[in-house]
Structure 1
């Protein structure tokens, strides 16, 4: 292990100019990463610019059937020798040049095992999703531990590999990311960190632009996969329920829409929330569903093909 080194790991699929922009911004950070590992799932396109970066940008290609949310990230970590591992997604855009430095400072507390960044909405982000960003990623930083479970519930375990840094010795001591994960590998690892007596930091000053305008059906499928991941780890999620946090988000969003005098958007909020809830409830019962139904409900059909 190379002490104080930071490597960035980014899984990519059909990378475009946003990935090129992401790598360029990472290379201009005040704390420049020692290596950037791009783990690309082979597709019909791969920008030539990604092969023309300095030697510290290392590209590995894998077949589509090899990709796994947890396993692919963990394999990349095993290729790295850095003490700190920064995971990002290909659609996250760093804001400013102090993203890495700000996350790194969180680890001055030796009990911090992970630190994740604030996600800001993109310019085209819809109003309701824009509020959801501010709900999940407020402007105040915090450090979470097991002591926060009674007050924060499921939010204690919240973490996002859209942009999250991990301390390697703690990461490895907990076995790394699970090898077979449909989704949610970040939250499972954060829960392990918390349950093992360590802490997870939320660094609001570390910012990336990242948001999605999901349709109702996309929300349904995403929440189906989320529930599958939680069902597969009952030792983590049985005692901290997600439903209460979901209800609180809906209520807070409705109040916000009334406050800004756009109450007609509550219909859209309720509709999308219904799709989310239905997807989540079905995902919780996925072991009772026929394979054909599961493949219609999931965002990640290949996961089921590889693990059926």
Structure 2
């Protein structure tokens, strides 16, 4: 097994992640995008393999794919730099469905950091439930857009099965979602493993939320075959808002105006992104959370072809 962790200024988290993983899983590869903090020195002091790339050379899909293909490991595991394993044996738990032949990809449960407010914590509670799941393409009617849900903040893949679909494609974001979609179309399954837990959450401003959802809307528009399979995300969005407001009513009703504003911002970001294929690049750069992407070769060569 190989664990791949892309990093950029990961100093606040990296040593803790290494401490949780290294004793049981020494084969870790860090792909660093020219960090200007102590990320590289932390990796070297722990004898972790590290590859340095240019910051603008990073791409969510292409970078993960490049270093996945460089290994002969049967299973490749991805963490993000700020996803802290709760227990040292997380890898055994995460990869169990793959080893037992039940799935081609598995992902763990993300729980909010200590002190997270409701807007940071609720997405984790909504998307990561208590019960394990095995999902296939036959579950589209049941799960809708959630059928292909996965997060490379904590996920494991069978390398050979990724090879069958051509691996991760260059993309602005959501490389995990689209890879899972192709795997399930190819007859494979995904496992959600709630007892493989990482601490991972973010507090986003409204501006951040707009940019994130712009990027998501854009890549969904690039790949309309996903929408054709699972339908649009509005039904799930309404369910999310309904459950969020219930939680707010139970905790602090004064937060309701912000919840409404946040929901509107997310909706507008997604809609602008979904309709931005013909926007000039300077507008995309303003609205996107990844300005460098629009001048990169990955933008010009991103794979949008349908696997159907």
* TM bracket, shorter-chain basis: over 0.9
Match of 1:243 in 2: 234
The equivalent residue for 1:210 is 200
Q: Residues 182-193 of structure 1 correspond to what in structure 2 (within 5 A)? A: 182-193=172-183
Q: Following the alignment from structure 1 to structure 2, what is the Cα–Cα distance between the partners of residues 34 and 15?
A: 19
1:130 aligns with 2:125: no
Give me the whole-angstrom Cα distance separating, in 1, the residues matched to 2:100 and 2:147: 18
Instruction: Let me know the Cα RMSD of the aligned residues.
Output: 1.3
1-structure distance, mates of 2:292, 2:225: 26
The C-alpha deviation readout for 1:65-124, integer Å capped at 9, x for no partner, is 211110000111122211000011000000012210001111144251100000000013
Question: Structure 1 or 2: larger strand share?
Answer: 1
For residue 112 of structure 1, what is the aligned residue in structure 2? Answer: 103
SS in 2 for 1:165: strand
Deviations 1:28-61 (A, max 9, x none): 3xxx22511100001322332211113xx21000
The separation in 2 between residues aligned to 1:102 and 1:72, in whole angstroms, is 26
Checking the alignment, whether the CA contact within 8 Å between 1:70 and 1:181 is kept in structure 2 is yes
Q: Which residue of 2 aligns with 1:268?
A: 258
What is the CA deviation profile of residues 189-229 of structure 1, one whole-angstrom value per residue up to 9, with x for unaligned ones?
11111111110000000000000000001000000001111
2:39 pairs with 1:49: no
Provide the TM-score with structure 1 as the length reference.
0.93
Counterpart among 291, 294, 298 of residue 301 in structure 1: 291
Deviation at 1:130, TM superposition (A): 1.0
Deviates more, 1:33-42 or 1:83-92: 33-42
Unaligned runs of 5+ in 1: 1-5
**Maintained 8 Å contact 2:210/2:265:** yes
Gaps of 5+ in 2: 301-308
> Match for 1:72 among 59, 63, 73?
63
Runs of 4+ more than 4 Å apart:
none
Q: Taking structure 2 as the reference length, what is the TM-score of the superposition?
A: 0.93
